[in-house]
Amino acid sequence: MSLSAIDWAQPWLAPYRARGEAVAQAVQQASSVAAALSALRPENAPAFVPQDALPTGQAYEAHIFETRTVPTRDNLHDFFNGLVWLAFPHTKRRLNQLQAGEIARRGVATVRGPLRDALTLFDENGALLDAPPVLWQALVERDWQRLFVTERARWQEARLWLFGHALLEKLVTPRKPITAHVLRTPAGASAALDDAALAGTLDPAWLRTKPFAALPVLGVPGWCAENASPAFYADAQVFRPRA
């Protein structure tokens, strides 16, 4: 696990930096990831336990729902998962509740089904965007020129929060093609995101439609020095036109 490779000054890590640096320091001083996360958890977050607390054959999401504990490995993936639990406990619990409900109804199958698929996609790779309508419309239409060049100044009115722990893990080594699955949030532009309000928006019928917009996150102004040049967005292998 390369916690030392994390650059906490990156803008996408701002919501996680304070706890993340503290957890990383504890782990580097010989604590497990589970113990370090549990030491900082707020009252409404679950406890973190070693991975071997998950009984053989039991579904991970069902175990979390039944025990209010999160089996956690000593790796970057679970490190970031824990940080998202600490930052957004209501939203993570809502995702877990919906996952566990689907597992109870349908069992664990090789094909998750549309709801579990959407929940997993958001949990692993999701992000939330609060932005002026012109930016959201350009994103949906994959009009990258308008989104990032013509209307670039409007990003000062926007906020993007990364939620997916696999997405955060990938960005430890930033690469241009890394893409988030984005939901629009009505939170209002501010430095914080209302966790309880977000959890309340996660309606199963809506999620089944997979209402995500694809966003190459290093295209966000200020998130990559190279994107100051309009030529950065000319790469059609990353900034793909709408089909």
Cβ atoms of residues 92 and 163 within 8 Å: no
User: CA–CA separation, 21 vs 225, rounded Å?
Assistant: 24
What SS3 class is residue 180? strand
pLDDT of residue 189: 46
Amino acid 229 reads: S
* Average pLDDT of span 20-32: 94
Q: 167-181: per-residue pLDDT in tens? A: 999 999 999 999 999
Q: How do the domains of the chain map onto residue ranges?
A: 12-112, 121-234
pLDDT bin (cut points 50, 70, 90) of residue 111 is low
Which of 90, 83, 8 has the alpha carbon at shortest distance from 40? Answer: 83
Residue 12 CA neighbour count, 13 Å, CB half: 30
Cβ atoms of residues 167 and 180 within 8 Å: yes
pLDDT of residue 2: 85
Q: 123-162: per-residue pLDDT in tens? A: 999 999 999 999 999 999 999 999 999 999 999 999 999 9
Cβ atoms of residues 182 and 126 within 8 Å: yes
Structure tokens at 25: 């320091």
Cβ atoms of residues 174 and 11 within 8 Å: no
pTM, two decimal places: 0.94
